[in-house]
Amino acid sequence: MKTIKLTLIALCVASALAACSKPEVAKVQEDSAKPLQLVGQDLLTLAESNLARGPVISGSLQPVVKAELNAEVSGIVMQVFKDNGDMVKAGDVLVKLDQTTYRDKLLSAQEAERSAIVTLEQSNRQLKRMQSLSKQSLVTQEGLEAAENKANQAQSDLASARARLVEARQQMEKTEVKAPFSGVVATRKVSAGDTAQVGKGLMVLIDPASIRFEGYVAADRVGQVKVGNKVTFKVNGYSGQFFTGTVERINPLANESTRQVQLLVSMDLKEQSLVAGLYAEGHVEVQNSDALMVPESALIREGDKHFVWQFANNELKKTEVEVGDKDERWGTQQVLSGISSGAQILRHPQGALTDGVKAELAAAALAVEEQTSAKVSTGN
């Protein structure tokens, strides 16, 4: 009897559990049948765009207009007026050296010039008197020639004195190191109190507007490059930005170490200034064509095959595609076959997607829910 009762109790419990589990199973089935919700940002509509082909170019940004200012006279650095990064105008005094010695030389040269002028005037007056007396036969020919020699020597002494005065003035002027052009101080090499010998570097000045891209391409690809080709490149420190330029010159001599060929790329920097010396890398556009391009993030690689997830007829289908060239400028891949222009694909396919899974745009799903709610509220 006990056994029968236990059996009945077990049957009742099993029936109750089965009844409870039915709604949960139904809910799971309902959830699995619910379409995958997508938003507009998940999808990319394919269209033909420009595909540029050409060799890789790498190098750095360098100023065309650059001046290394060195000391032309020796002396103690008295003042440094500009520092790294300061803007300067042509003629601005950047560094001033001690002028004491050169001021004394200048004063001495000026006094020597005045003395030479007086001597010359006296010699000329004496020569005129001797010439007048010579006509009256009151002086010998030797006396006249001596007066002429003295006047000529005075003229030569004056020329030498004036040359020394010009040199003294130039040395005095060189104690003030001035900017040869408008630009920016790139490097300050001295401070007040330093001893500057002739040839010592004082400052480096550059013109930021003259910056160009000096890059190198592989020797086996240089034959494709021509003057005037467009160059698209990125610069370290300016992430997410692309810059363009034009091949201005092709160096006729390959680099002795790498055997690469240098290209000089001009840039238009009227609206933006860049920092010289930064590393840059890009591509020379030697051939352009229209092609169907997809971003790398949309491609799925399985061995040698490539796939995309295409959204069509409210379904996600795993579609095999044939890829071609890669556009290194944007990191996009050419699609040769498998899908066509106008198709919609997932930008960033993630998770375990099933081929043929139902999907719909969130906006469409919301419209369906609103229609259903309206019907329920009206009792239809």
Q: Where are the domains of the chain?
A: 38-51+289-361, 56-64+210-285, 66-188
Q: Look at residue 132 in the predicted model and tell me its pLDDT.
A: 83
Q: What residues are paired with 295 via a beta bridge? A: 332
Q: Look at residue 272 in the predicted model and tell me its pLDDT.
A: 65
CB 297 within 8 A of CB 347: yes
C-alpha 299/C-alpha 305 separation (Å) is 10
pLDDT above 70 covers a percentage of the chain that reads 85
Mean pLDDT within 371-380? 40
Which tens digit of pLDDT belongs to each residue from 307-351?
898 888 888 888 888 888 887 677 788 888 888 888 888 888 887
Which tens digit of pLDDT belongs to each residue from 256-265?
999 999 999 9
Q: What residues are paired with 186 via a beta bridge? A: none
| pLDDT category of residue 1 using cuts at 50, 70 and 90 | very low
Q: Hey, what are 344's tokens?
A: 């919609």
- Compute φ and ψ for 191, nearest 5 degrees: -130, 165
Least confident of 12-16, 142-146, 247-251: 12-16
Which tens digit of pLDDT belongs to each residue from 193-222?
999 999 999 999 999 989 999 999 999 989
- In CATH terms, the fold of domain 38-51+289-361 is 2.40.420
Mean pLDDT within 260-280? 85
Which residues are CB-neighbours of 52 under 8 A, at least 6 positions away? Answer: 232, 283, 285, 287, 288, 327, 329
User: Same CATH topology for 38-51+289-361 and 56-64+210-285?
Assistant: no
* pLDDT surpassing 90 at residue 14: no
- Packed helices 141-173 and 100-135: angle between N→C axes, nearest 10 degrees: 160
- In CATH terms, the fold of domain 56-64+210-285 is Elongation Factor Tu (Ef-tu); domain 3 (2.40.30)
Least confident of 62-66, 269-273, 275-279, 367-371: 367-371
pLDDT above 90 covers a percentage of the chain that reads 43
- What is the residue-averaged pLDDT of the chain? 83
Q: Look at residue 375 in the predicted model and tell me its pLDDT.
A: 40
Comparing CA positions, the residue from 48, 28, 90 lying closest to residue 334 is 48
